[in-house]
Amino acid sequence: MKRLLSGNEALAWGAYHAGARVATAYPGTPSTEILETIARFDDIYAEWSTNEKVAMEVALGACYAGVRTIVSMKHVGLNVAADPFMAASITGVNGGLVLICADDPGTHSSQSEQDNRHYARLAKVPVLEPSDSQEAYDMMAIAFDISEQFDTLVMVRTTTRISHSKSVVDLSRSRPAPTGEVGFPRNVSKYVMLPVNARFRHPLVEERMVKLAGFAETSPLNRVESGERNLGVITSGVAYQYAREVFPDASFLKLGITHPLPRELIRRFAGQVDRLVVIEELDPFLEEGIRAMGVEVTGKDFIPLVGELSTDVVGKGAVSAGILTEPPVPPGITAVADLPKRPPLLCPGCPHTGMFFVLASMGQRLKPPDSGDNPAKKSNLIITGDIGCYTLATYPPLNAMDTTACMGASIGQALGMEKAGIDTNIVAVIGDSTFLHSGITPLVDAVYNEGKITVVILDNGTTAMTGHQEHPGTGVSAQGNKATKVELENVVRGVGVSDVRVVDAFNMKELRAAARSALASPELAVIIVRGACAVGVPQRGEPRVVDAGKCNRCDVCLLIGCPAIQTVDDKVYIDTTLCVGDICTICQQVCPQKAITPVTGETE
Amino acid sequence: MKALMKDPLSLIVIGVAGQGNVVTSYLICNALVREGYLVTFGQSYPPQQRGGSVINYIRVSTEIQTSPIIPEGRADVIVAMEPVEAMRMLNQYGNPDVITMVNPRPIQAIDTTGLGVEYPSLDKIMEDIRGLSARTWVVNATEEAQKLGNAIMANVVLVGALVGSGVLPLDRKSMEPVIAERFPKAVELNMSAFDRGVELVKQ
């Protein structure tokens, strides 16, 4: 069966056809669709875990119980899961355990670009890198076999381009019937990492790497494609595709296993070519390994360390290094400059907009359309931020975010600023899914250490930024079943916060009152702002319109940053195809002239 | 399998998030796969939010599985749901042989609400698009879709126009199962949107 599949879909099908019985993940671009695809199969257990650390631990338990298990996350997710990941390396597995780690070269949707192959070197586990969807599908079966044969977690590293691009896949395998019984073979020296046991496991890990290096020498995943001998290219992942297009006649050593390196294969290949180069995205991971072998090689002197590669980037690099005399792709045309940009924005009807407008007004941060400087610099309010759609409130006109570091950081950062002696008001803003992911422990810290900050939890009832995944607060499981709902206000009160308010995200009066009182409070205060994500609301109410007769162009409505509110021919106008209408009405509530009304109101 | 007008053939489908151009690409790509072509589909980021530009790259070949990104200046066909987005793609991926198909209905950018560059005059944009393309098809997709009852079907009208123009080795027969699979509850309505698109380029 041939199908057009994204790399993520192909990885999911590959795991399914390899007989995986348990799948865990926390959503994160570009990895999310792996679990979303797996969750659609009935005969596999799939869960959205609270965070990546938990996902890794659940996966570890499942593989100890003897079933093939897949855990997936984005690159920075592995930072969260690093502790159980390192432990998995030491204990090894029972059923096969495959971690899919999706890196984001080019920082399309992340706080950083990091090359997670370094983690594999740290943990001493093998890495496989697919170059297209077909390989992604095929590699999953091999990854599970390696995991079980060598008693190791196997990392499959994809990147945004591999995960999200679609190509044709032949789904040639089928799902095997469950083999063997599920059972945990109690083995204290393998599974209880007391120092006395861990000490004896470490030499086994080193032996494992030697055996894996031998395996990599002859595995068909590492293959030589002989071409002209004047140029030899060692490459992996999506970089293979770009390099193939730029150097169609060169010889290639295409590595599917990038850790540990097949040293003898590399030496033989190097001996067969006049000039050896490595084309790889992000860090010189392969290049440094090869150079350390004493083999003469170049790569990062003409291929950028930073950002994503492409046929253009590799081509330009090749010209600068004198490998090609002219770029393989002639430059295009130069045409019209100064087109309006379309940065991503909070949607029309977004439940985050109202609270940000309140915080921005109270902090005097709103940026009038024609002002040059950024008023947030002079604000009397500090807003520490977190990771989600709401990070977009950083942009004008709201200017409502001062920090964003990693999942859950807002609360700890706010507390740190307070303890450092900042005397202005400090507000931490965090989403519902992010709060459950890693906001609870810093809130406990703020309770315990007598913090006086205000924490705003923006509860839109979903994991919106990654495309509406369920989480413990939604009451629905990854596979669409009813689940026990974790109530945010119970969690917050349960850890010891007494000043807790739950407010309607679209009621400006309530929002203002809650913010004023929390900021004035001498103790830790939590405001839960509740309102459904606009994208998830199927019914649109009556759109709003601007009465041009009443509008005096004070432009307050433009300061909420709603994409439906625009100016055309010097008049403020609401695009009725974008406006969500009755569920929102924030513009109507903030208009001092009462010039914004329901669309039918005009004709009354 | 019919030969392509160029092999590999590189198409860009561009629009503003929420206009449905990922569905446009989905229909085209899956119809091509059913006919046996090798297809690679890539996209720009972040596509999740409303209001941003969404670029889809489609590369088709009878022989090779290509890389997912179209090199600069190397688009063969640009299908744009919005005029400024068509211009943006011509700037980056245009060349003297490029064929452009554009839905001329502008969508204002938040930049134009006093925060940056103004939306250019539509006449000027359309004139520039024509000047920079070897062939230009102007398809009033939104308008036609509204006549059929829902502006959201503009993307299917555009698919019809693209197939009707003969740029791709596809016809009504190859599109119908894909449209039926994507819109199982509204097959007839979407097929009429498709047919309307075909008619528009035949006129």
**Tens digit of pLDDT for each residue in A430-487?**
999 999 999 999 999 999 999 999 999 999 999 998 989 999 999 999 999 999 999 9
For the beta carbon of residue A230, count every other beta carbon within 10 angstroms. 12
Amino acid A603: pLDDT = 39
Give domain status of residue A387, yes or no. yes
* Residue B45 at interface with chain A, using a CB cutoff of 8 Å: yes
All residues of chain B having their beta carbon less than 8 Å from the beta carbon of residue A168 are: 33, 38-39, 65
Question: Which of A331, A344, A567 is facing B51, going by the closest CB pair?
Answer: A344
Q: Average pLDDT for residues A109-116, to the nearest whole number?
A: 92
Do residues A89 and A108 both lie within one domain? yes
Whether B50 shows a pLDDT value over 80: the answer reads no
User: Would the CB atoms of A339 and B65 count as touching at under 8 Å?
Assistant: no
Amino acid B49: pLDDT = 52
All residues of chain A having their beta carbon less than 8 Å from the beta carbon of residue B90 are: 333, 335-336
Whether A341 shows a pLDDT value over 70: the answer reads yes
How far apart, in whole angstroms, are the C-alpha atoms of residue A314 and residue A320? 10
Amino acid A326: pLDDT = 80
Amino acid A537: pLDDT = 77
Closest CA to A515 of A359, A398, A381, A365: A359
How far apart, in whole angstroms, are the C-alpha atoms of residue A357 and residue A404? 19
Give domain status of residue A74, yes or no. yes
In chain A, which residue's Cα lies nearest the Cα of B88? A339
Measured in angstroms, the CA of A10 and the nearest CA of chain B are apart by 14
All residues of chain A having their beta carbon less than 8 Å from the beta carbon of residue B151 are: 577
SS3 B78: strand
A373 — pLDDT class (breaks 50, 70, 90) = low
Do residues A440 and A490 both lie within one domain? yes
How far apart, in whole angstroms, are the C-alpha atoms of residue A219 and residue B197? 51
Lowest mean pLDDT among A196-200, A292-296, A579-583, B53-57: B53-57
Q: How many percent of chain B have pLDDT more than 70?
A: 93
Question: Which of B52, B67, B96 is facing A342, going by the closest CB pair?
Answer: B52
Amino acid B113: pLDDT = 46
Amino acid B47: pLDDT = 46
**B22-53 in b/e burial notation, b at 16+ Cβ within 10 A?**
bbbbbbbbbbbbbbebbbbbbbbbbbbbbbbb
SS3 percent helix, strand, coil of chain A, rounded to 5, is 40, 20, 45
Give domain status of residue A289, yes or no. yes
Do residues A235 and A210 both lie within one domain? no
Tens digits of residue pLDDT in A499-515:
999 999 999 999 999 99
In order of A537, B18, B199, the CA distances from B186 in angstroms are 21, 19, 20
In order of A82, A115, A257, A383, A449, the CA distances from A53 in angstroms are 7, 19, 25, 27, 25
* Residue B84 at interface with chain A, using a CB cutoff of 8 Å: yes
In chain A, which residue's Cα lies nearest the Cα of B85? A339
Do residues A511 and A597 both lie within one domain? no
Q: What is the mean pLDDT of chain B?
A: 90
Whether A299 shows a pLDDT value over 50: the answer reads yes
Do residues A42 and A103 both lie within one domain? yes
Tens digits of residue pLDDT in B7-37:
999 999 999 877 888 899 999 999 999 999 9
CATH number assigned to the domain comprising residue A553: 3.30.70.20
* Residue A392 at interface with chain B, using a CB cutoff of 8 Å: yes
How far apart, in whole angstroms, are the C-alpha atoms of residue B146 and residue A160? 36
User: Would the CB atoms of B95 and A561 count as touching at under 8 Å?
Assistant: no
Tens digits of residue pLDDT in A25-38:
999 999 999 999 99
Contact criterion met (CB below 8 Å) for B78 and B12:
yes
Lowest mean pLDDT among A104-108, A283-287, A515-519: A104-108
Q: How many percent of chain A have pLDDT more than 90?
A: 84
Tens digits of residue pLDDT in A51-94:
999 999 999 999 999 999 999 999 999 999 999 999 999 999 99
Contact criterion met (CB below 8 Å) for B114 and B47:
no
Number of domains within chain A: 4
Do residues A262 and A294 both lie within one domain? yes
Lowest mean pLDDT among A231-245, A253-267, B109-123: B109-123
Tens digits of residue pLDDT in A128-139:
999 999 999 999
**Token pair of A419, please?**
């303890």
Rg of chain B over CA atoms, in angstroms?
16
Give domain status of residue A174, yes or no. yes
Do residues A226 and A206 both lie within one domain? no
User: Would the CB atoms of B41 and A167 count as touching at under 8 Å?
Assistant: yes
Q: Average pLDDT for residues B164-185, to the nearest whole number?
A: 96
Amino acid B118: pLDDT = 73
Amino acid B117: pLDDT = 63
A365 — pLDDT class (breaks 50, 70, 90) = confident
Q: Average pLDDT for residues A578-598, to the nearest whole number?
A: 95
* Residue B126 at interface with chain A, using a CB cutoff of 8 Å: no
Amino acid A374: pLDDT = 63
All residues of chain B having their beta carbon less than 8 Å from the beta carbon of residue A33 are: none
Whether B48 shows a pLDDT value over 80: the answer reads no
Do residues A301 and A378 both lie within one domain? no
Residue with tokens 């998995």: A88
**A42-53 in b/e burial notation, b at 16+ Cβ within 10 A?**
eebbbbbbbbbb
More confident of the two residues A289 and B149: A289
A533 — pLDDT class (breaks 50, 70, 90) = very high
Do residues A532 and A548 both lie within one domain? no
Give domain status of residue A332, yes or no. no
Measured in angstroms, the CA of B98 and the nearest CA of chain A are apart by 11
User: Would the CB atoms of B91 and A160 count as touching at under 8 Å?
Assistant: no
Q: Which of A187, A218, A249 is the last residue of a domain?
A: A218
Question: Which of A315, A344, A567 is facing B113, going by the closest CB pair?
Answer: A567
Residue range(s) defining the domain that contains residue A7: 2-218
In order of B7, B39, B59, B60, B103, the CA distances from B63 in angstroms are 8, 10, 12, 9, 32
In chain A, which residue's Cα lies nearest the Cα of B38? A168
Closest CA to A472 of A142, A54, A42: A54
Amino acid B51: pLDDT = 63
Amino acid (1-letter code) at residue B123: D
In order of A90, A149, A169, B31, the CA distances from A209 in angstroms are 12, 12, 32, 46
For the beta carbon of residue A273, count every other beta carbon within 10 angstroms. 21
* Residue B128 at interface with chain A, using a CB cutoff of 8 Å: yes
* Chain-centroid distance, C-alpha B111: 24
Q: What is the mean pLDDT of chain A?
A: 94
Residue A196 φ/ψ, nearest 5 degrees: -65, -30
Give domain status of residue A246, yes or no. yes
Whether B112 shows a pLDDT value over 50: the answer reads no
Measured in angstroms, the CA of A162 and the nearest CA of chain B are apart by 9
Whether A530 shows a pLDDT value over 90: the answer reads yes
Measured in angstroms, the CA of B93 and the nearest CA of chain A are apart by 6
Q: Which of A196, A218, A240 is the last residue of a domain?
A: A218
Tens digits of residue pLDDT in A230-253:
999 999 999 999 999 999 999 999
User: Would the CB atoms of A336 and B68 count as touching at under 8 Å?
Assistant: no
Contacts of A376 (CB under 8 A, 6+ apart): A363, A365, A367, A399, A400, A402
User: Would the CB atoms of A563 and B51 count as touching at under 8 Å?
Assistant: yes
A1 — pLDDT class (breaks 50, 70, 90) = confident
Q: Which of A536, A555, A583 is the last residue of a domain?
A: A536
A395 — pLDDT class (breaks 50, 70, 90) = confident
Do residues A374 and A462 both lie within one domain? yes
All residues of chain A having their beta carbon less than 8 Å from the beta carbon of residue B146 are: none
Whether A492 shows a pLDDT value over 90: the answer reads yes
More confident of the two residues A345 and B130: B130
Rounded to two decimals, the pTM is 0.94
Contacts of A496 (CB under 8 A, 6+ apart): A444, A447, A448
Give domain status of residue A464, yes or no. yes
Whether B46 shows a pLDDT value over 80: the answer reads no
Amino acid B120: pLDDT = 85
In order of A176, B54, B97, the CA distances from A164 in angstroms are 27, 14, 29
Tens digits of residue pLDDT in A188-221:
999 999 999 999 999 999 999 999 999 999 999 9
Do residues A66 and A98 both lie within one domain? yes
**Token pair of B38, please?**
């090798």
CA contacts within 13 A on the Cβ side of A487? 6
Give domain status of residue A184, yes or no. yes
CATH number assigned to the domain comprising residue A489: 3.40.50.970
Q: Average pLDDT for residues B51-70, to the nearest whole number?
A: 90
CATH number assigned to the domain comprising residue A260: 3.40.50.920
* Residue B120 at interface with chain A, using a CB cutoff of 8 Å: yes
SS3 percent helix, strand, coil of chain B, rounded to 5, is 45, 15, 40
Question: Which of A466, A467, A565 is facing B113, going by the closest CB pair?
Answer: A565
Amino acid A295: pLDDT = 98
Do residues A26 and A94 both lie within one domain? yes
